[in-house]
Structures are given as structure tokens and as C-alpha cells.
Amino acid sequence: MKHLVAIAVAVALGSSACTQKKAAPGFDPGDTAPDVAGNTPPTSTTATLNAAVAASLPLSDQTDFEDARRGLIASNPELRVMGATGQPIWNMPAYDFMKGEPPKSVNPSLWRQAQLNNIHGLFEVTEGIHQLRGYDLANMTLIDGETGWIVVDPLTAEETARAAIAFAREHLGNKPVSAIIFTHSHVDHFGGVLGILSAEEAVERKVPIVAPEFFIEEATSENIIAGVTMARRSLFMFGPRLPRGERGHVGSGLGKEPAYGTIGILRPTQIVMETPTRLTLDGVKFVFQNAPGSEAPSELTFYLPDFNAFCGAEVVSHNMHNLYTLRGAQVRDALKWAGYIDEIIALFGKADVYFGSHHWPIWGNARVVDFLEKQRDTYKYIHDQTLRLALHGYTPREIAEQLELPESLSGSFPNRGYYGTLKHNAKAVYQRYFGWYDGNPANLDPLPPAEAGAKYVELAGGAANVLQTAQRAYDDGEYRWAAEVLNHLVFAEPDNQDAKELLAKTYDQLGYQAESGPWRDVYLTGAFELRHGGPDTGVDLATAINMLRHAPIERFLDAMAARLNAEKAEGKEMIVNLVFTDVGTSYVLELGNSVLRHYTREPHPDANVTLKITKELYLRMLAGKAGLKETLFGDDLKIEGSRLDLLGFFRLLDKPDGTFNIVVP
């Protein structure tokens, strides 16, 4: 019985990384073969549309390329970083195909951005400030202090961070880390920290670690409750299952791609809570801006008066950012975001150098201010004009279809939709103010996709007629309409191979036309999964164990409550005590009305069962790292009361594996 309880606990806490599903065909993610995933060639319609994009933009302007190459000290053309099991988690040579003119299968504006993001290595931004770019989705910045480097944003993964700082030491000298700045709470800006500094050394040397207000809470909590769903959707947004090639993944707009390695975190020693906050780190003066609720719930920027340089973190970057991110997250406040950039101009607008957490720097005060002003006005424009059109009764889809940036903004490359897009950002503004409902009664309680699909197929006179209609639309280059028609048919008849293949071909063309890296990956991943099926494994929490240790236990209990199967729990009442013996904290879990509530309290005297466990074992079980032997025969887990009740309790919790279908029912 005890081993059954232990297994139930482990699974209920989320250890689902090994769940299997129909496997996709095997290929190296770095394979550059253009049709390895079965993608079809670009049609003449796609080629014409992409040619029109090329004609509408000054793609021959080399200013950004000159900036991106400026200050290059060294670059490794064979830059690969391997994971613990020997798999590549970073592979820049996979993008060597990106030379010359854009192929017809890539939007030429996105091709230009992806080529810029291919420029990688160690760069001098200005005397005393260096950046490592192209070692991860984000940049790592090194600022010379009196005794070592002040490291800004140590990348996503320990492996890439370790490789980056080793490359810097090879060319700049073996300097220690004297301080760390986390600009914000997204994992690509802190997850690699243990690759540059161990937790023990940070404590022993009393290394200052600066972060914005609410950093630890936001950094560790965002993905715990909804993380399985976010992770599955991220496979579409970032395209890790796609081959790298002219018909596959070319980049994410914000960078090449995230590194899928080992994630950690260190607890900040100094918190930025107001603007301006002045600190001196290792002899270097900083002026910080606290910018919560901009690009991240917890974010800061800073100015270096001795360098006359401004770090914009991710509040500004060389692309339009997301007000809503396609992996799924809370909608960001465009008005507040624009206000922070306005504050930056007022406080730090004298800067001669801009550098950020992504992309390449800008030099010259006039250029820096022009960049900041246009970024500010882009977010303000999207906010104001979306609301103006909503005041006239236009719905999200109608607003997204007609909204265009003025030429003064759209003609600026940093405002192009390489990451966020005008269309989905306008919908985000609408959602923030009005929610998902557009006011049309027909959209208040629509049929679910499979049922609606069956009705539409019936209305059209059967699957053959739908296929004919979709084929005509495809042949005429009406890919959005073809996708809408075929989506109904696929959800009505998920085994209809002709429908799935035509829909995949349609997604191919929409992906080839997309200026946004995430949009391209979404379409092409949709095509990939229609042809080859979903992923075979879910989330591997073991890679994030060093971050999970810093997450509040309450967040894991919230996640447990979100997994309660209401139908199975109906009519059941139960009290479970959860005691963490090593940290001296106890929780009472109460089940009733098909709801699981948790309270930080002393153990309930009338509980059905009490589970005593160390926090470390709890986290190891969560990550699937605790084996049966240490779980069953160690002293870190004890059960008092009804073991049957405990086993029954955990059987009420769903075990999501993160491999659910998206493009088919």
C-alpha cells in the first residue's frame, strides 16, 4: 500500500515527463533539409505576396547590420552547446543556411530580422560594457566593476550561460562575477544563473543580486498553475519540433530560439521598488527604473551615468513586442507600457548608447531617442486606436483587420511585427478592457469545435463538397478562408487524411508569408502535427528543479487544486494535513463541493490523513527525480491515518501529460 501511495503522490504532484504518445518521425532539429517535415513548396501566390513585402520596405538598408556587427571581438562559427545527455540545446550552425537573398518560402522582412539575429559572439558595446549575443534567446551583458563583472541577465539555461561566460573569459580575462542583475521575471533572463555562479559561492562571497519588485514570486509562479498548457502551446510559438531550414524554423524574431536546458535561480539580495533607485555595485553607479506590468509583471531598466548608457531590458527592443503572447499569459497593459517608455525618455533621454536584453545596441543620442519615441508611440497607438474603433462597435476581429500603423511607425524596422503583431496586439487591448465576448449574441454560447464542424460539413453537403470548396480557395490563394473551412472538416472528421493534408499545405503557405517568427512557427508546427502527430513526451520538470526550490509552496497547492476532477470529487468530503517537516510549515487541504481549498494552518485534529514529507522530497517527486527506494524506505515521508483515504484523494487529481491535441480534436 505504501508504494501505491508514494506513486500516487508523485503523479499527482505533476511528474508526467515520461508519458508517451504517438511519436513524430525522427529527425535532427538542426537538420537543414528543406522538406524534412513534409512541407510543400511556396505557391506563386505566396511568392508574389512576399515579393510585395520586399518592394515595400528598405531591406537594403545596412544600418542595423552595421550596428549588429559593431564592436565584435570574437565569434565561434561552430557554436554548439550540449546538454547533460549529449543532446544539443544550442546549435548556431543549424542556421548557416541563412545566407543571401530570402527564399520564396520566408517573408523577406522576417528573413532580414533572422539574419540580424544570426550575428553572434562577444561584442564591446562601449568601453567597459560587453555583450554575449547569440548564445541563447536573450543577451548576457558584462559591465566592468572594480573587482569583476556585473552580469546582466544570465540567459535561460545553465549550459548556455556557462559556455557564454567561458567564451568571454577566453577573450577578456578570467574575471569573477561581482554582482548580478535580473532585469525581469521571464526565464530567459535568469534561468542560467547557476552556470555563472553557484548558490554556495554567491552566499560565501556575498555577491549582490539585484532584481525588480516581486521578482521571485513572478519568476517562480507564472508557469506553475498553468505551466502544462503553456508548455504545450510554446511548442507552437517557438517551433522546437520544426527543422531549421527555408521551409522550417528561421528564428523567433526576438532571437533565434530559447535554449531548452537546465534552469535555476538565485534569490535577490536587493530589490528595486521605486523610480529612480540609485545603487552602486562594485564601484559602478546605477539608476534604476521600476517598471512592473510592462513587458513582464516584474521588470526594471537602468541607466549608467558614468557610461551615459541606458539598458532597456525588454521594455524596448528591435521588434514590436507582445501585448499578448501566443503561448498564453495575462494580457499586458499597452497604456502603462507606453507610459514607462515616456518616463525613460524623461529620465534617461540624454543617453548616447542603448543596449537591451535582446538584439543589438544603438549609438548616438538622436538615434536612441528616435528609437524610444517610436517604440512608445507604437504601443500608445495600438491602445488608443483599438479603443477608438471599439467605441464605434467594432469587434476584435474587425479591429485587427482594419488597424494599420501610420507610415512614420510602420516604416521603422524596430516596430515591425517580428514577435508581437499588430493584429493580435489589437485583440489583446480589446480583451484587456472588454474580455473574450465581442457583444454578438451568436458568440455568447457557440457550439464547441467538433460539434460545429460536423454541422458545417452537413450544411455544405458533405466532406467532399467542403474539400472542393477548400481546394478552390487554396488554388485561388485564399489561404485564410481555406484554413477556416478545412478546420471545420478536420474537427468533424479527424481521420480524413485528404482534409488534414490540404490544411497542412494551407498552413505551409500562411507560415511562409508570416512576418512574425512566432506566427510562422505556429502555422508550420500546425502543419507538422497534422502530418506527423503530436509530441511523444510532456514537460520535464527535472530541468527546473533548481528554480522550483524557490517557488512558494502555495503555488503548487494552487496547481493541485486546478487538477481536481470535479466529476470524480462530487459528493466527497475530506481533510488532508500536509506537513513539511524540514521547513516547519503545515497546510490543511479541505475537499468539499468539488473544490479543493488549502490553508496555512496547524494540522487539523480530525483530518482523514496526515502526510509528513520534506519539501526537498516533495520537489524531487514533483520533478520525477525521487526514486521508489528513497521514497518508500527513507525517513522523509510518513503517513498517519487512512492510507486508503490518501490514495483515494490523489486519485481525484488529473495527471495532465502536456501532449494534448491542438490542430485536431
pLDDT at 475 over 60: yes
What is the three-class DSSP state of 356? coil
Least confident residue range of 146-155, 202-211, 650-659: 650-659
- Above pLDDT 90, what percent of the chain? 85
Q: pLDDT value at position 4? A: 41
> Taking residues 597-620, what's their average pLDDT?
94
Q: pLDDT value at position 36? A: 62
Q: pLDDT value at position 200? A: 97
pLDDT at 439 over 60: yes
- What kind and span of H or E run contains 159? helix 158-172
Least confident residue range of 313-317, 483-487, 640-644: 640-644
What's the CATH number of domain 57-379, 3.60.15.30, 2.30.290.10, 3.20.20.60, 3.30.420.40? 3.60.15.30
pLDDT confidence bin for 547, thresholds 50/70/90: confident
pLDDT at 558 over 80: yes
Task: Count Cβ atoms below 10 Å from residue 313 Cβ, excluding itself.
Answer: 29
Residue 590 burial (CB < 10 Å; 0-12/13-18/19+)?
middle
Q: pLDDT value at position 665? A: 97
pLDDT at 17 over 50: no
Preceding peptide of 276 cis, ω within 30°: yes
Residue 533 burial (CB < 10 Å; 0-12/13-18/19+)?
middle
- Above pLDDT 70, what percent of the chain? 94
pLDDT at 6 over 80: no
Q: CA–CA separation, 400 vs 422, rounded Å?
A: 7
User: To the nearest whole number, what is the mean pLDDT of the chain?
Assistant: 92
pLDDT at 419 over 50: yes
Q: pLDDT value at position 35? A: 61
28-47 pLDDT, tens per residue?
Answer: 333 333 466 789 999 999 99
The pTM for the full model equals 0.94
pLDDT at 544 over 90: no
> Taking residues 459-470, what's their average pLDDT?
98
pLDDT at 25 over 80: no
Q: pLDDT value at position 27? A: 34
Q: pLDDT value at position 625? A: 74
Q: pLDDT value at position 12? A: 44
Positive/negative CA dihedral, 370, 376, 379, 380:
negative
pLDDT confidence bin for 92, thresholds 50/70/90: very high
What is the three-class DSSP state of 114? helix
pLDDT at 348 over 50: yes
> Taking residues 68-78, what's their average pLDDT?
98
> Taking residues 530-539, what's their average pLDDT?
90
Nearest to 516 by CA among 320, 372, 377: 320
- Do the domains spanning 2-17+539-650 and 57-379 agree at the CATH topology level? no
Residue 573 burial (CB < 10 Å; 0-12/13-18/19+)?
exposed
CATH number of 2-17+539-650: 3.30.1050.10
Q: Where are the domains of the chain?
A: 2-17+539-650, 57-379
pLDDT at 539 over 90: no
Q: pLDDT value at position 632? A: 59
